[in-house]
Structure 1
Amino acid sequence: MNYIQDFVAEISNYIKNENVELNAPMKKYTSFKVGGAVDLLVKPETYEEVSKVIGLCEERKIPYYIIGNGSNLLVRDGGIRGVAIKLSKLNGININGEEIIVQSGAAIGEVSLKSRDASLTGFEFACGIPGTIGGAIAMNAGAYNGEIADIIDTVTVVDHKGKVMKLTKDQLELGYRTSVVLKKNYIVLEATFKLKKGEYEKIAGRISDLMRRRREKQPLEYPSAGSTFKRPEGFFAAKLIEDSGLKGVSIGGAQVSEKHSGFIINKENATAKDILDLIHFVQKTVKSKYDVNLDTEVRIIGEEK
């Protein structure tokens, strides 16, 4: 841990003390509410701070991980060796005509509501997605027949050498739950979306309807990371899981939701191991019954305990 103490001493020149946390429990920073501690959590407030922290990690060969609000993240019980860079302080949202310019740490739902308030349509589909803009772009997040690819214009990213680049929609290589951001491990700093003028009442009504549907169909009362599995080509993950007789199945404190089989939830003080064991059990069962591979949508990092 001496290397972390040295690292903290160096970044204290430009990162505020309140934005640095040693041995930060990741269960506090993930929607699953599980996981061990990360050696160091840093919350940069500017793009320059992001670049400096990444540059120092690279120079010192310290592993680092970018996290938004931890809504699509499962950290193993042994925690994370290295540095977690949480971008939640980079949360600016600016509207310029029919464009909306958003920093990577802004909550997707907040951007959807700001768009509504400006009578801009196109972002309604994202009103209930629990992630941040950076993660949404990396995963080409989508819901209710809409996705980031439909409205994105440009994205500013930084690579692991500290080079800042502006990427067009075509350069983002957006596909189902993937992008060049994921493939090349870029860090999203900012994005510009192109929306259209609409009627406030219609936009607000659509958002209200989608939020109601989400509350009715998804187990929002329990910690989870949203949809646990990607949609296999030609199938629906939740239907495969339910048809395999796995709805409500539990391992430890983790459960396949009785409300929506596509969600694995932390029902009662689950460990990350409980959740991982249940994920593997679901994958094995569906493969055995239907010969379909279920790939996880949730990102899994950290060490075993």
Structure 2
Amino acid sequence: MKILKNEPLAHFTNTKTGGLADFLAFPESAESVQALLKFANANELPVTVIGNASNLIVRDGGIRGLTLILTQMNQISVSETTVVADAGASLIEVTKQAQQASLTGLEFAAGIPGSVGGAIFMNAGAYGGEISMVAESVVVLTKEATLKTIEKSELDFGYRQSRVQEEGDIVLTATFKLQPGDGQAIQAQMDDLNARRAAKQPLDLPSCGSVFKRPTGYFAGKLIHDAGLQGFQIGGAQVSMKHAGFIVNVGDATATDYLNVIHHVQEVVFDKFGVALETEVRIIGDSIPTH
């Protein structure tokens, strides 16, 4: 198992920003995660799991203690109408394997660039679908390093929320319950959603995905557009000219640039429309570098 010391997290985040991780590990099995967590607990090291760091901003001060990236844990198995996937598996790859098995229900996730664990953690969704619609159960590691299975009814899914998020469990595997469908029709829907995504979203530039939650009765992107903020830039972070709900790295942006753009957008939208934009993107780490 690979463990790196004082590793720049900008090498791993989708924004290409983020400070140093004290220790960064890439466990390859549930047993490895459990062993790492027990070691961290015994040595009073904080533990942070960052999935594949797609809908995430790591502050420029980096992350203390032990950081885990679970992308080496990426097995996916399909049995009848059930798909079981490791936390580090690509959600896009899960949708492909479901399609190949002519299973419907995950089409909405065809273009979501997150991991399975991250998708459970924040109840990822797009185009009218959410992970909560298809998740059946998850196996997690509690803070005390004990294995536990949590059924769907206990996962407390909400809009970009889950029990896992509240309790700090580490997702190891997720089980999805799908329905038999027509493979060609499933592929056609996935192709359509991916084409719509490519037409509207700035997929050619580093970003953290959708920055803000959808405010009740509004669309965040439209509010930002109507506030005249498209193209607003601090450092290398810019409100996307293609989709105002995205902030893109147009050149050597720092996490601080991202956060300053976010705060400016929130202030202007609130001043103009009285709507408080909440971040959907997860923001973690220290503000001030300690290295």
TM superposition score normalised by structure 2: 0.97
Secondary structure class of the residue paired with 1:52 = helix
| Counterpart residue number, 1:9 | none
Structure 2 residue ranges without an equivalent (≥5):
none
1:169 matched to 2:152? The reply is yes
Pick from 111, 118, 127 the counterpart of residue 94 of structure 2. 111
1:6-64 CA-to-partner distances (Å, cap 9, x unmatched) read: xxxxxxxxxx3xx1111111011100001111111101111111111112112211112
Shift of 1:210: 0.8
Shift of 1:78: 1.9
Question: 1: CA distance between counterparts of 2:258 and 2:245?
Answer: 13
Read off the aligned partner of 1:184 and give its amino acid letter.
Answer: E
Secondary structure class of the residue paired with 2:111 = coil
Question: 2: CA distance between counterparts of 1:293 and 1:62?
Answer: 35
Question: 1: CA distance between counterparts of 2:134 and 2:64?
Answer: 37
Question: 2: CA distance between counterparts of 1:168 and 1:77?
Answer: 37
| Counterpart residue number, 1:233 | 216
| Counterpart residue number, 2:111 | 128
Read off the aligned partner of 1:76 and give its amino acid letter.
Answer: R
| Counterpart residue number, 1:85 | 68
| Counterpart residue number, 1:300 | 283
Question: 2: CA distance between counterparts of 1:204 and 1:78?
Answer: 43
Whether the 8 Å contact between 1:55 and 1:160 is mirrored in structure 2 is no
Whether the 8 Å contact between 1:225 and 1:298 is mirrored in structure 2 is yes
1:160 matched to 2:155? The reply is no
Pick from 117, 128, 146 the counterpart of residue 129 of structure 2. 146
Shift of 1:299: 1.1
| Counterpart residue number, 2:58 | 75
1:173-221 CA-to-partner distances (Å, cap 9, x unmatched) read: 0000000000111110111111111111101111111111111000001
Shift of 1:240: 1.0
| Counterpart residue number, 1:11 | none
Shift of 1:260: 0.4
Structure 1 residue ranges without an equivalent (≥5):
1-15
Secondary structure class of the residue paired with 1:23 = strand
Please report the RMSD computed on the Cα atoms of aligned residues, expressed in angstroms. 0.9
Secondary structure class of the residue paired with 1:33 = coil
Shift of 1:68: 1.1
| Counterpart residue number, 2:4 | 21
Shift of 1:267: 1.1
Shift of 1:165: 1.1
Whether the 8 Å contact between 1:62 and 1:82 is mirrored in structure 2 is yes
1:244 matched to 2:232? The reply is no
Read off the aligned partner of 2:28 and give its amino acid letter.
Answer: E
Shift of 1:73: 1.2
Secondary structure class of the residue paired with 1:191 = strand
Read off the aligned partner of 2:69 and give its amino acid letter.
Answer: K
Structure 1 runs, 4 residues or longer, greater than 6 Å off:
none
| Counterpart residue number, 2:18 | 35
Secondary structure class of the residue paired with 2:159 = coil
Question: 2: CA distance between counterparts of 1:289 and 1:115?
Answer: 44
Question: 1: CA distance between counterparts of 2:136 and 2:19?
Answer: 37
Secondary structure class of the residue paired with 1:20 = strand
Secondary structure class of the residue paired with 2:171 = strand
Shift of 1:247: 1.1
